[in-house]
Amino acid sequence: MVDSIFLALSVLTIGCAIASLEIRSLIYGSIALMLTLSGIAGFFLLLDAPFVAMFQLSVYVGSIAVLILFTVMLVRRELIFNKIEDTRRRYAGIGLMIIVMLGIGTIIIGSGLKSMDTNAPSVDYKKIGEDFLTYYSPALIVMALILTSSVIGALTLAKREDVTSDQRAN
Amino acid sequence: MTNALIDFVLVSVALLAIGIYGLSVKRNAIRMLFAVEMIVNSANLNLVAFARFIPNSQGQTLALFSIAIAAAEVAVGLALVIVAYRMYKNIDIADFRSLKG
């Protein structure tokens, strides 16, 4: 059976996920997204993965959510509260969500995952550090290159000159 | 463990379904990025949950790599949104006409 912490975390995570998509203001939406990501970090703590949880907190909640918040603030004010969507498309989306949830949910509940339980001790996070520096060190270097190139790419994109739509037509 | 593996997997399925809903319904580019973040996070939750129950350290390592890649993806995605906002003065993806084929 699940314990109360798990229940509270799942209500927080899923509730804030829905709120971040449905709430009218984009600023409150990004704060709700921040809470969703913190809820996921709580799940990582429940799964005895403190290293991944702290990484999640520092990368997602610390940097990505703040980056999104600042981007939202750069956008004009009426666009933040603007909410244009097709009603039929919305109902189709809700139907698709329920189909995905029920379909994959029934498959998972019917599978053998239900009986899977473990009493084994959790993985020591020192082992992860060792893995990173020995077996995964080439992947770590490639990761550093990808991060550098993405930062340079983002800077180049954002630094572009202002192109108006009539200039673009020529 | 008091919580079984299936509970974590069901939470991640719910998050995936909400992400798919957001991607298919929303027309705001920033909200679509929110939905992508949710889908990536549900995948990470799955990885760490299975790594705990197998038990194995490789799932956690892969989750760490995935988080780092997602950070890069969001940086580039937000830069693209800003460029599109400068061009069209809007963040509605239906207005990004020159991206249509």
pLDDT, tens digit, 9 for 90 and up, residues B25-66 = 988 888 999 999 999 999 999 999 998 888 888 889 999 999
CB B21 within 8 Å of CB A96? yes
What pLDDT is attached to residue B16? Answer: 94
In a domain, B41, yes or no: yes
Same domain, A9 and A78: yes
Alpha helices in chain A (DSSP H): 4-22, 26-46, 50-56, 65-74, 77-81, 87-110, 125-133, 137-158, 165-169
What pLDDT is attached to residue A142? Answer: 94
pLDDT at position A161 over 80: no
Same domain, A58 and A136: no
User: Mutate which of A85, A97, A148 to test chain B, going by most B C-beta atoms within 10 A?
Assistant: A97
Q: Is this complex scored with an ipTM above 0.85? A: yes
Instruction: Kindly report the CATH number assigned to the domain that includes residue B61.
Output: 1.10.287.3510
Pairwise CB contact (< 8 Å): A20 & B7: no
User: Mutate which of B30, B54, B83 to test chain A, going by most A C-beta atoms within 10 A?
Assistant: B30
pLDDT at position A81 over 80: no
pLDDT at position A169 over 60: no
Smallest Cβ–Cβ distance between A117 and the set B4, B22, B68 belongs to: B4
CA distance B100 to chain A (A): 15
* B51 alpha-carbon distance from chain centroid: 20
Average pLDDT value for residue range A156-166: 68
Q: Check residues A81 and B5 and name the one with the higher pLDDT.
A: B5
In chain A, the number of structural domains is 2
Half-sphere CA count of B55, side-chain side, radius 13 A? 16
Smallest Cβ–Cβ distance between A105 and the set B13, B26, B81 belongs to: B13
Tokens of A117: 């339980």
Q: Check residues A23 and A81 and name the one with the higher pLDDT.
A: A23
In a domain, B101, yes or no: no
Q: How confident is the model at residue A166 (pLDDT cuts 50, 70, 90)?
A: low
Same domain, A69 and A133: no
What pLDDT is attached to residue A31? Answer: 93
Element (H, E) at B22: helix B5-25
CA distance A47 to chain B (A): 6
In a domain, A106, yes or no: no
Range of the domain at B60: 5-96
CA distance A119 to chain B (A): 7
CB A77 within 8 Å of CB A31? no
In chain B, the number of structural domains is 1
Torsion, Cα of B92, B93, B99, B101 (10° steps): -130
Instruction: Kindly report the CATH number assigned to the domain that includes residue A5.
Output: 1.20.120.1200
Same domain, A6 and A74: yes
CB-defined contacts A:B, below 8 A: 239
In a domain, A3, yes or no: yes
Range of the domain at A149: 124-159
Return the residue of A nearest to B76 by Cα. Answer: A154
| Neighbour count for residue A75 (Cβ, 10 Å) | 20
User: Of A66, A83, A100, which residue is a domain's last?
Assistant: A83
In a domain, B59, yes or no: yes
